[in-house]
Amino acid sequence: MKRQRLLALVQARLERFGADHNPAIVLDPEAVAELTALLETVPDPAADFEIARAAGWLHWYRYLVLDSGDDQQDLADALALFAPLCEAYPDAVPDQVRTLYGRFAASDHPQAMVDRGFTMLLEAMHTGDRAALDAAIDLLRQAVSATSADDPGRAGYLLRLGIALQTRFERVGDRADVDAAIDLLRQAVAATSADDPGRAMYMSGLGIALQTRFERVGDLADLDAAIDLLRQAVAATSADDPDRDGYLFGLGIALRARFERVGDLADVDAAIDLLRQAVAATPAGHPDHAGYLFGLGVALRARFERVGDLADVDAAIDLLRQAVAATPAGHPDHAGYLFGLGVALRARFERVGDLADLDAAIDLLQQAVAAIPVGHPDRARYLSDLSVILRARFERTGDPADLDAAVDAGQQAVATTPAGHPNRGGRLSKLGSALRARFERVGDGWTWTPRSSHFGRRWRPLRPVTLTAARCCPISAVRCKSGLSGSGTGPTWMLRSMPAGRRWRPPRPATPTAADRCPTST
């Protein structure tokens, strides 16, 4: 019988994958052909327990091993096949799917779907669970599709779906997600009148999405538009509005990003003032407080690098240490906070020359790299900056292990930066500098003399010419000045869930990868 033969082939493939986890087993074109043929043997595969189980697991395994962006269809197919199984045979589906379906009871009313989808989104933002994030987006899309253009709740649905897509863009980096988020949020703003009490929230959400796209694409028009929208959101709220601190924070982060791009000190001064107001408005223990501390610390470090006032970088380091201490390991923003503190310590080392700051910076960046998932869009940036500071310590101490580690981190950074990425050239340049430094140390008779204890000067390596004399041979060295470039929003936002009919707290960058992602030059 054709059904039984094809079912046996698919089940055997699942067993092989379960034994050695080789992605080729489920990605093989023959696997797709077998699955397609099996599903065609019955009119409703979801109603056939054996077929639904086998086909659902094959789609699920493909979802797990496919690259981000290529896995969405398999996830949707797996969830559709598992849905009827989950109620009748809960042990037959993956634990993650069972947890999701068990926690969020089914309902086809748009508001109920939005409530479930947004709760899933909040959970995914807290745990980093990619499957929960994808399921939330799918549910929110269903809710939007089920509402008419004149539905009074549609603007809110568009906002939540836009937030979810932007969150996935920050985790995965697919440009299509942020473009779709901006389109949805523009629709939400257009659907509200000037006196609508929720308009400031929609403008803030659109502004943050535009800034997020600026950080990846670099179009200054996006950032200027974001600042205009965020200023309107702040102006539209009273001093006692519970959402005002989030609007102040978003505007401060956007102004700091423009300062790093354009260099106008008025922008960073205004950013620091706004961020101080946001910090003052939230007590310690508030879910947004650590993110606000981080954002203010990054802005102070940015001004230090331009103006050179040590009080700014000392204050930045203190604030960033508080943010790290307030965020547990495993939190989606923890890696970004570690990275930001490490960059600030390196900035102070470059000014003061205390090797303890450089050692601490390297340790923090190594922790950040270990904490951020492979495939995260910020991982290459962390590796590139780690490469630079390892090379800086090599130049100070002469330890070849640091130079080898710098080359390795730089190679990983380049390997995970796609062609066409705006920072790929900078990362290639940094890797080239590290490779040249290693060649000059070990190749063709070169020797290395560590940097002088007088921090402001550089020693040149010596190349022997005779047994009694030496000739100075300059080598080029790239001084890396951390710019925490372009990042303004974090791996996640800390959003407040509220019942239907109540106002939602606007999205805010929680500063990271999350959170106000710590900016860097590349």
**Residue range(s) defining the domain that contains residue 95:** 2-102
Residue 479 lies in a domain: no
Residue 69 located in a structural domain: yes
DSSP 418-457: -TT-TTHHHHHHHHHHHHHHHHHHHSTT----PPPSSTT-
The number of domains in the chain is 1
Residues 162, 177: Cα–Cα separation, whole Å: 9
* Torsion angle of the four alpha carbons 148, 152, 158, 160, in this order, in degrees rounded to the nearest 10: -130
Structure-token pair, residue 395: 């130049």
Q: Is residue 87 part of a domain?
A: yes
Say if 78 falls within a structural domain. yes
- The 8-class DSSP code of residue 45 comes to G
Domain assignment present for 38: yes
Residue 40 lies in a domain: yes
Query: Considering the domain boundaries, does residue 173 fall inside one?
Result: no
Q: pLDDT 10s digit of each residue in the chain, 522 long?
A: 688 888 888 888 887 776 666 788 888 888 889 989 988 888 888 788 888 889 988 998 898 888 766 777 888 888 888 877 776 667 677 777 766 665 544 556 787 787 778 777 877 776 777 888 898 899 899 989 988 888 888 888 999 999 999 999 988 888 999 999 999 999 999 988 888 888 898 999 999 999 999 988 889 999 999 999 999 999 999 888 888 999 999 999 999 999 999 999 999 999 999 999 999 999 888 888 999 999 999 999 999 999 999 999 999 999 999 999 999 888 888 999 999 999 999 999 999 999 999 999 999 999 999 999 888 888 999 999 999 999 999 999 999 999 999 999 999 999 988 888 888 899 999 999 999 989 888 764 444 444 433 333 333 333 333 323 332 332 232 223 233 333 333 333 323 333 333 334 444 443 333 334 344 444
H/E segment holding residue 81? helix 72-88
The answer to whether 125 and 495 have CB atoms below 8 angstroms apart is yes
In a domain, 305, yes or no: no
